[in-house]
């Protein structure tokens, strides 16, 4: 076999150096050809799209570039621009605080909601990122009381008493839990009510770290959207879980109550519920209870959100294989133990994307409160700012700013949820 | 060694109500029922007490009284002397109108954007992602306000006046102004009924022809052309009848008279703003549903169909779409429901839907808050429940038939 070489005319013995691929098959040219001009219909689409983009840039470019940031009214902007295209962004810099905090929040106290916002990020981080030290969850637990004191002001006593009530409830629950979950729950509620009643009698005596009080009607701007969104979502999660479990329950009365509540709330637009909060809800409470509008709105939005969250969690519960329920039963766990240790951790994990969707949707829907004349971000823009003589007619800059704020928040949340889904994926794919 | 335990006593003990799972559920249900009744009773007694204190009562008499306000866009006859009930009906029809128009355009937009996002064309895919993300992450109220601002940029009717007008009518038929869109309106003369009847018969004929073609295909394998014959059956008889009857259907073209357009069909600015905003916003959501539905179909399905020798159009219509639609349609229908509920934001642009009439001006004029809001909620509830009934029926029909 070794003489094959001599019988053949030519045998290459060394490797050729690799040739460059053809110009059309590499680099930018190939990318453009396969991604933009792969067929004639694609080419037409590309050209049309490019034309639209160029038009957009030609129109919006100068508008941004010539933007004016430091005048006191639209008239001054127009004077400077002399008919040229340009945005009058001064409305944002001049009304910055109003856009963020509303029209009536005291000027000297802006640091309080700002601090509350920063602390909220700190409080939320251990919930959002499980790698952070678990000790931070203590701060998360304290945060609602701290935030109430910071935003509404007054003496810190209210927050401390509320907190002590919850601590007492927790301790009582731990003591009585052995007799059964429901008995523990009952003991917790009784302990909390007792603590609030007893300590409430001394509340007026002491005043710790008093801050200037800000009534609810003075809240506004983007702060109001943030407050409504955070409060209502946090409150609606436990209610939503309870409703979802109720809807899955075998007890006809409890199931009936949950189904009617969920279907009724999901069947009507949020705006009608806000009308209820605005004009009807007051009739359902004794005349001496003086609920302010923001509290009534929080009640209605929470009901609204919990119905949607209940449906998402019901989906998660239904998606669990039946074997999980049977496994819990065969371990001898009772209903609450099975739910707490086996079912809910898995069902909630499945429901996270849905819950985040509801949260984003709800946060966007907080703008609807502007329809019942509350001054949230949209309400501020449509009301005091566009109605003022200085800024009448500055639509694009204001609405664009509002859209941008919401986009950043909501897009951020949905990106986080996608990241979390990848983190929680425990199957090996 | 054997041990006997006592057989369980059959007598009922009170502690079983808490500790025995057979009876415990009754305890919990009883507690829940009592709490519910107490809660409802508390709220109702407060309501009655408060109403009595304010000298009010629950009554629907106000519905018969004249409304006294004008509605700019109405589908049925309405004057400000009509009753509040009539005003509510106008509002209901306006809600249904904008919901119907919105659903159609949102579907078209959503399908284009959803397919576009999966396009091999990089630029189109990116553009569609930008569209979807921008609209999904910004509140619909802000979009309604922005689009309503865009519509005001259109020229005013005055710009169409004069020898050399600043603006011209599109094709001489449509006028896009900042007061709304003016479009030609069909005028039905004597004999037009026969033309319409012919058209309806043609539609039915097309349906039967297509069924016959399918039957023939399955029975003999012979394929009849369906495209151009359908078109011919649809159009030719109607056109013939139109000329035979002496052209009974005319067109009323809007004309500039005074400071505004006269004649034709008018879509007011609020309607257009709301319609556009709702359909573009909902379209972004539908696009996501469409994309998810198409991606849910295994690639193997396309390849299997291709290996059977089907052409790409038939692969789409016979193999992919029937499977993808089962995934796509339920979420799309709930988007329609969302669109209908979001149309209640009409109040922000001044379109008089049912929230604007019954829940807005009627409520404010009569002060009958409880009655108005109750009726309003009932209306939306009926709409939602009927849409979810349709959806359940559809889901049951297309459900995978498992053995």
| CA pair distance B338, B279, nearest whole angstrom | 11
The answer for residues whose C-beta is within 8 angstroms of residue B40's C-beta and 6 or more apart is none
| CA pair distance B323, B302, nearest whole angstrom | 11
- Which residues on chain A are in Cβ contact (under 8 Å) with B350? none
Residue with tokens 């709220």: B43
* Residue B375: closest CA among B63, B75, B44, B66: B63
B226 close to B198: Cβ distance less than 8 angstroms = no
pLDDT higher than threshold 60 for residue B402: no
β-pairing verdict for B180-183 and B260-262: unpaired
A36, A254, A275 member nearest B29 (Cβ): A254
Closest residue of A to B23, CA-based?
A251
Q: What is the pLDDT of residue A406?
A: 94
pLDDT by residue (tens digit) across B334-361? 899 999 999 999 888 888 889 888 888 8
B123, B136, B146 member nearest A36 (Cβ): B123
Two tokens, residue A327: 């496994």
SS3 A393: coil
* Residue A216: closest CA among A76, A301, A111, A102: A102
The answer for residues whose C-beta is within 8 angstroms of residue A85's C-beta and 6 or more apart is A59, A62, A63, A66
Residues 327-366 of B with CB under 8 A from A: 341-342, 344-345, 347-348, 355, 359, 363
pLDDT by residue (tens digit) across B148-197? 888 877 777 766 666 666 666 666 667 777 777 777 777 777 777 788 88
Mutation pick from B142, B360, B377, B381 vs chain A, by most beta carbons of A within 10 Å, is B142
- Which residues on chain B are in Cβ contact (under 8 Å) with A284? 43, 46-47, 50
Phi-psi region of B367 (alpha: psi -120 to 50; beta: other; left: phi over 0): left
| CA pair distance B201, B233, nearest whole angstrom | 10
- Which residues on chain A are in Cβ contact (under 8 Å) with B53? 287
- The residues pairing with B185 across neighbouring beta strands, listed in sequence order, are B252
B57 touches chain A (CB under 8 A): no
Closest residue of B to A382, CA-based?
B145
* Helix A221-248 and helix A252-267, axial crossing angle in degrees, nearest 10: 150
A363 close to A410: Cβ distance less than 8 angstroms = yes
Closest residue of A to B340, CA-based?
A269
| CA pair distance A233, B8, nearest whole angstrom | 49
Contact check, Cβ <8 Å, B138/A407: yes
Domain parsing of chain A, residue ranges: 70-75+87-105+218-428
B380 touches chain A (CB under 8 A): yes
pLDDT higher than threshold 90 for residue B34: yes
A257, A364, A400 member nearest B32 (Cβ): A257
Largest CA distance in chain B: 117
Give percent above pLDDT 90 in chain B: 24
The answer for residues whose C-beta is within 8 angstroms of residue A153's C-beta and 6 or more apart is A109, A112, A210, A211, A212, A213, A214
Domain parsing of chain B, residue ranges: 84-160+268-398
| Alpha-helical segments (H) within B12-59 | 16-19, 21-54
Q: Any idea which fold A70-75+87-105+218-428 has?
A: MetI-like fold (1.10.3720)
Phi-psi region of A83 (alpha: psi -120 to 50; beta: other; left: phi over 0): left
Q: What is the pLDDT of residue B56?
A: 77
Digitized pLDDT (tens) for each residue of chain A, 429 residues in all: 555 556 778 888 888 888 888 887 878 888 888 888 878 888 888 899 999 999 999 988 888 888 888 888 888 888 888 878 888 888 888 889 889 998 888 888 889 999 999 999 999 888 888 888 888 888 998 999 999 999 888 888 888 888 999 999 999 998 888 877 878 888 999 999 998 888 888 776 777 778 888 888 888 899 999 999 999 999 999 999 999 999 988 888 999 999 999 999 999 999 999 999 988 888 888 877 778 889 999 999 999 999 999 999 999 998 888 899 899 999 988 888 899 899 998 898 888 888 988 999 999 999 999 988 889 999 999 888 888 888 888 888 899 999 999 999 999 998 998 888 888 776 654
| CA pair distance A25, A151, nearest whole angstrom | 62
Q: What is the pLDDT of residue A181?
A: 80
- Architecture of the domain defined by B84-160+268-398: Orthogonal Bundle (1.10)
| CA pair distance B344, B342, nearest whole angstrom | 5
Q: How far apart are the CA of B119 and the nearest CA of chain A, in angstroms?
A: 9
A86-90 long-range contacts, CB within 8 A, separation 24+: A86/A62, A87/A63, A87/A396, A87/A397, A88/A394, A88/A397, A89/A397
């Amino acid at each position: 076999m070794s003489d094959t070489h001599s019988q053949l005319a030519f045998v290459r013995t060394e490797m050729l150096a690799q040739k460059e691929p053809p110009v059309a098959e590499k680099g930018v040219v190939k990318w453009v050809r396969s991604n933009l001009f792969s067929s004639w219909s694609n080419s037409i689409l590309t050209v049309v799209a490019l034309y639209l983009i160029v038009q957009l840039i030609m129109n919006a470019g100068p508008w941004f570039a010539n933007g004016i940031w430091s005048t006191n009214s639209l008239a001054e902007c127009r004077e400077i621009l002399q008919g040229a295209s340009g945005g009058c962004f001064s409305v944002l810099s001049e009304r910055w605080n109003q856009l963020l905090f509303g029209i009536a929040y005291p000027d000297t106290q802006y640091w309080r909601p700002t601090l509350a916002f920063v602390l909220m990020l700190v409080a939320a981080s251990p919930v959002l990122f499980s790698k952070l030290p678990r000790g931070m969850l203590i701060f998360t637990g304290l945060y609602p009381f701290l935030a109430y004191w910071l935003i509404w002001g007054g003496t810190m006593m209210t927050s401390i008493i509320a907190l002590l009530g919850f601590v007492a409830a927790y301790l009582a629950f731990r003591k009585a839990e052995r007799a059964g979950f429901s008995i523990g729950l009952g003991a917790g509620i009784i302990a909390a009510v007792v603590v609030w009643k007893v300590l409430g009698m001394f509340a007026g005596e002491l005043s710790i770290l008093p801050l200037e009080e800000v009534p609810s009607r003075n809240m506004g701007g983007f702060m109001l959207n943030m407050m409504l969104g955070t409060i209502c979502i946090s409150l609606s999660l436990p209610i939503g879980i309870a409703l979802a479990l109720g809807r899955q329950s075998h007890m006809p009365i409890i199931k009936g109550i949950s189904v009617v509540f969920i279907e009724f709330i999901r069947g009507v637009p949020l705006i009608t519920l806000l009308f209820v909060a605005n004009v009807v809800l007051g009739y359902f409470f004794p005349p001496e209870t003086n609920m302010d509008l923001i509290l009534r709105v929080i009640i209605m939005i929470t009901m609204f959100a919990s119905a949607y969250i209940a449906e998402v969690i019901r989906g998660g519960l239904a998606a669990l294989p039946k074997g999980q329920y049977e496994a819990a039963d065969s371990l001898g766990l009772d209903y609450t133990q099975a739910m707490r240790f086996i079912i809910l951790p898995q069902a909630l994990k499945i429901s996270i994307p849905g819950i985040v969707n509801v949260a984003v949707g709800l946060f966007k829907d907080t703008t609807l409160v502007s329809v019942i004349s509350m001054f949230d971000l949209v309400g501020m823009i449509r009301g005091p700012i566009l109605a003022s003589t200085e800024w009448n007619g500055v639509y694009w800059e204001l609405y664009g700013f509002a859209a941008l704020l919401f986009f950043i928040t909501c897009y951020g949340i949905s990106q986080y949820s996608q990241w979390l889904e990848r983190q929680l994926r425990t199957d090996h794919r | 060694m054997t041990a006997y335990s006592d057989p369980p006593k059959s007598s009922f003990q009170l502690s079983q109500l808490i500790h025995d799972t057979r009876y415990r559920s009754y305890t919990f249900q009883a507690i829940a029922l009592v709490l519910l009744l107490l809660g409802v009773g508390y709220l109702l007694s407060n309501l009655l007490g408060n109403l009595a204190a304010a000298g009010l009562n629950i009554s629907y008499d106000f519905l018969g009284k004249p409304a006294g306000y004008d509605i700019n866009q109405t589908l049925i006859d309405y004057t400000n002397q009509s009753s509040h009930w009539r005003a509510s009906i106008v509002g209901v029809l306006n809600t249904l109108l904008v919901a119907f128009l919105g659903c159609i355009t949102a579907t078209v937009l959503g399908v284009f954007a959803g397919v576009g996002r999966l396009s091999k064309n990089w630029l189109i895919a990116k553009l569609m992602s930008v569209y979807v993300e921008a609209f999904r992450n910004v509140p619909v109220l802000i979009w309604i306000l922005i689009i309503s601002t865009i519509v005001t940029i259109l020229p005013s009717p005055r710009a169409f006046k004069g020898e050399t007008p600043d603006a011209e009518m599109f094709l001489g038929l449509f006028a896009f102004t900042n007061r709304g869109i003016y479009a030609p309106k069909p005028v039905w003369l004597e004999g037009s009924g026969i033309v319409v009847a012919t058209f309806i018969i043609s539609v039915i004929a097309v349906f039967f022809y297509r069924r016959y073609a399918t039957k023939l295909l399955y029975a003999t394998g012979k394929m009849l052309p369906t495209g151009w014959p359908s078109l011919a059956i649809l159009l030719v008889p109607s056109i013939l009848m139109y000329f035979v009857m002496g052209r009974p259907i005319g067109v009323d073209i809007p004309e500039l008279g005074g400071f505004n357009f006269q004649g034709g069909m008018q879509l007011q600015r609020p309607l257009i703003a709301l319609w556009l905003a709702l359909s573009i916003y909902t379209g972004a959501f539908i696009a996501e549903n469409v994309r998810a539905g198409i991606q849910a179909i295994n690639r193997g399905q396309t390849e299997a169909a291709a290996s059977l020798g089907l052409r790409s159009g038939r692969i789409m219509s016979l193999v992919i779409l029937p499977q993808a639609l089962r995934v796509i349609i339920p979420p799309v229908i709930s988007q329609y429901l969302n669109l209908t509920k979001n149309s209640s934001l009409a109040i922000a642009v001044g379109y008089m839907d049912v929230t604007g009439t019954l829940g807005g001006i009627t409520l404010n004029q009569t002060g009958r808050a409880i009655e108005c809001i109750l009726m309003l909620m009932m209306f939306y509830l009926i709409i939602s429940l009927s849409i979810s009934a349709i959806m359940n029926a559809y889901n049951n029909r297309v459900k995978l038939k498992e053995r």
